[in-house]
Amino acid sequence: MERWQNKVAVVTGASSGIGAAIVKDLVAAGVQVIGLARRQEKIEEIIAGLPQEKRSLLTALKCDVSNLESVNKAFDEIITKFGGVDILVNNAGCIKTGQMVSMDPQLIQSVLQTNVMGVVYCTQRAFKSLKERNVNGHVVLINSICGHKVIAGPPDSAPVSNIYTPSKYAITAITEIYRQEFYGLGTKTKVTSISPGVVDTEILSDEHRKWIEDRILSPHDISNAVLYTLSTPPHVQIHEMIIKPVGELF
């Protein structure tokens, strides 16, 4: 991680779960981190829990990645204060339970706005910063095993994940599009998709917790993977990483 010392990383969805684990581990590695989330106060709590000498390495900004105006406001502030973005971790995501055949289309749209367009909005701004400064960075997309396989859920029940799985399939395709675009536009910026299995986060329902029992990953398992991909030599690109707990059913 030496090459990223004092560089700037932006992590979306940083208020809890995987995002909170990532910001903590990046700060511990000496990276200047800006955590974006709608619940800015939760990131402030993370800052307060850091060792005193590390607190200046984490900045909390309020941002709704599904809203382009909100994203632009946050990135404008980041670039003004820190000069640019070197690492972007697209972690923010959401799921709305229900069946696509009957649920409110606006809820379906909200998932697409966060899980797909949020990635597009933030990556555009990060890549623009990298390109303008003629530096090579790293874009990480927190995907899901649902981006590789349609998982119905518990047996003998109608699935409730609806558009979530298609949104993650989109991230799998977007990762390859970015790889080709980054190279085709004359940069050596890396892109990595990390696809976890079941992770112990707020997004996991009580019903699914009972079903999966102890076959579950920790948010820090995913954060460790992010730091591993960032620590690879400049010529090595981890394009896709799938992480499952031992004994996972999927």
Catalytic choice (164, 178, 183, 228): 164
User: Residue 125 falls within a domain, yes or no?
Assistant: yes
Structural domain of 216:
2-243
Out of 129-143, 148-162, 199-213, 215-229, pick the least confident. Answer: 199-213
How many domains is the chain built from? Answer: 1
Out of 34-38, 95-99, 148-152, 201-205, pick the least confident. Answer: 201-205
Here the tokens at position 202 are 């707020």
| pLDDT given at position 241 | 98
User: Residue 54 falls within a domain, yes or no?
Assistant: yes
From CA 97, how far away is CA 132, in angstroms rounded? 41
- For residue 152, which amino acid is it? A
Helix axes 17-28, 40-49, angle to 10 degrees: 40
Here the tokens at position 21 are 């684990």
| HSE, side-chain direction, 13 A CA sphere, residue 70 | 15
pLDDT at 19 over 80: yes
| pLDDT given at position 60 | 98
User: Residue 114 falls within a domain, yes or no?
Assistant: yes
Output the pTM of the full model: 0.93
Active site residue 228: no
Residue 84's φ and ψ, nearest 5 degrees, are 165, 180
Here the tokens at position 247 are 């004994």
User: Residue 239 falls within a domain, yes or no?
Assistant: yes
pLDDT in tens, 25-50: 999 999 999 999 999 999 999 999 99
State the burial class of residue 143 (Cβ atoms within 10 Å of its Cβ: 0-12, 13-18, 19+): buried
Out of 41-55, 123-137, 206-220, pick the least confident. Answer: 206-220
Report helix, strand or coil for 229. Answer: helix
User: Residue 250 falls within a domain, yes or no?
Assistant: no
DSSP string of 90-153, one letter each residue? E-------S-TTTS-HHHHHHHHIIIIIHHHHHHHHHHHHHHHHT---EEEEE--GGGTS----
pLDDT at 210 over 60: no
First to last CA, the chain: 33
User: Residue 74 falls within a domain, yes or no?
Assistant: yes
From CA 188, how far away is CA 45, in angstroms rounded? 36
User: Residue 166 falls within a domain, yes or no?
Assistant: yes
**71: domain CATH number?**
3.40.50.720
| 138-142 sheet: strands from edge to edge | 58-62, 32-37, 8-12, 87-90, 138-142, 190-196, 240-243
| pLDDT given at position 109 | 97
pLDDT at 231 over 60: yes
User: Residue 56 falls within a domain, yes or no?
Assistant: yes
pLDDT in tens, 154-171: 667 788 889 999 999 999
